[in-house]
A and B are shown apart, each in its own frame.
Chain A
Amino acid sequence: AQTVTQSQPEMSVQEAETVTLSCTYDTSESDYYLFWYKQPPSRQMILVIRQEAYKQQNATENRFSVNFQKAAKSFSLKISDSQLGDAAMYFCAYRKAAGNKLTFGGGTRVLVKP
Chain B
Amino acid sequence: SAVISQKPSRDICQRGTSLTIQCQVDSQVTMMFWYRQQPGQSLTLIATANQGSEATYESGFVIDKFPISRPNLTFSTLTVSNMSPEDSSIYLCSVEGYQETQYFGPGTRLLVL
Knowing A43-B106, A91-B42, A91-B43, the reply to whether A100 touches B92 (Cβ < 8 A) is no
- Pick from B41, B102, B106: contact of A102, CB under 8 Å: B102
Contact B101 A35 (CB under 8 A): yes
Q: Interface size class for chain B?
A: 20 to 34
Q: Are B96 and A100 in contact (CB under 8 A)?
A: yes
Chain A interface: which size bin? 20 to 34
Residue B48, interface by CB 8 Å: yes
Collect the chain A residues with CB atoms within 8 Å of residue B101's CB: 33, 35, 47, 50
Assess whether B90 is in contact with A43, with CB atoms less than 8 Å apart. Answer: yes
Instruction: Summarize B's interface: helix, strand, loop or mixed.
Output: strand
Q: Give A23-73 interface residues, CB cut-off 8 Å to B.
A: 33, 35, 37, 42-47, 50
**Bound CA–CA A45/B45 (angstroms):** 14
Q: Are A102 and B42 in contact (CB under 8 A)?
A: no
8 Å CB contact of B45 from A42, A44, A102: A102
Asked if B92 and A45 make an inter-chain contact with CB atoms under 8 angstroms apart, the answer reads yes
Stretch at the interface among A11-19, A77-85, A104-112: A104-112
Q: Which residues of B contact A105 (CB under 8 A)?
A: 42
| CB-based contact A100/B90 at 8 Å | no
Q: Report, nearest first, the 3 A-B pairs whose CB atoms are least far apart.
A: A45-B104, A104-B42, A104-B43
Q: A33-B101, A101-B58 are in contact. List 17 more A-B contacts (CB 8 A).
A: A42-B106, A43-B90, A43-B106, A44-B107, A46-B104, A47-B1, A47-B101, A50-B101, A95-B100, A95-B102, A100-B31, A100-B96, A101-B48, A102-B33, A102-B45, A102-B102, A107-B42
Interfacial residues, chain A to chain B (CB-CB below 8 A): 33, 35, 37, 42-47, 50, 91, 95, 97, 100-102, 104-107
